Amino acid sequence: MRYFADAATTENFSHTAKKFMVPQSSISETIKKLETELGVNLFDRKGNKVILNEKGKIFQSGVESALRHLDDVVRTLKDNKEEVSGDLSILVQTNRRLVTKCISEFKNLYPNVNFSIYHEYSDVTYDRFDICISDQIYGLKDLDKELLITENILITVSKNHPLAERKVVSMKDLSDERFISMQTNRSLHKLLLSLCHNSGFNPHIAIQCDDPFYLREYVAMNLGIALFPEFSWKNTFDDRVSFLETSEGPIKRDTYVYWKNSKYISKAAKLFRNYVIEKFREEYTSFARFL
């Protein structure tokens, strides 16, 4: 069943064989036996390619549901032990600094809990993550969530930039500016596009990078301006930059912890979820005192 479930997703028996560390012939033979037992073809063969057909898609849905149920039963049995252990799959898309701190502290408390940490949608399918920390989840149902933080998004510029002496700036005033942005799949990039489009212009993105550290360095070097999440990136800039608010009103970003209500939540996952919620509250309370 696991061979089939993976092959149905990849439509590549060779990839499935490498994942399970078996010969490709074992995958092909297993799938063929499965098709013979069912009395239907699950894949269409075209040359060296295999394509999951409509009957295969129907079977895939049932198999994935059954495997999730079996995995949940195993996790339930493991949770009946006194010690907290097991594997957690975490999708972290915002507030990585604080989430990383939470993971480190949680591992010290519960050393037998193992983490698989992902940062992109493409790295883990949504039916496999236990917890997601993000400001955006699109097109998914059966999710529960709890708000972790609402933070301000500011504009950051180099101290050498002409705008550095101002405290407030209109988004329209930034239409001729060079922007430094995260990659296109990151929420800050999407927020930048939305803000600029709502103000009637397309941003001139001079630099895109996938590392917040270097984004901040590029701003300090006066290579462009950028959005700045006030809580998430606190204490990560030095005195080489200034921060501006927008005259259109405060820009806000909400970050949530998500989990699937249709999936079994292990003892370790519940403990970690609650730990993250509490730590965010503590951090923000401390942060707010100095605002």
Name the pLDDT band for 123 (thresholds 50, 70, 90).
Answer: very low
pLDDT, tens digit, 9 for 90 and up, residues 222-273: 999 999 999 888 778 778 999 999 998 889 999 999 988 777 788 889 999 9
- Domains, the chain, ranges and CATH? 2-79 (1.10.10.10), 86-147+255-288 (3.40.190.10), 149-253 (3.40.190.290)
Q: Token pair of 230, please?
A: 């006030």
pLDDT, tens digit, 9 for 90 and up, residues 55-83: 989 998 888 888 877 877 776 666 666 67
Residues β-bridged to residue 51: 44
> The dihedral of CA 186, 259, 257, 76: what is its sign?
negative
Bigger pLDDT: 8 vs 70: 8
Measured CA to CA, the distance from residue 277 to residue 271 in angstroms comes to 10
Nearest to 10 by CA among 46, 43, 59, 33: 43
The span from the first CA to the last CA of the chain, in angstroms, equals 55
pLDDT at 208 over 60: yes
Percent of the chain with pLDDT over 90: 45
Q: How many whole angstroms from its chain centre is CA 208? A: 19
Longest dimension (CA), the chain: 75
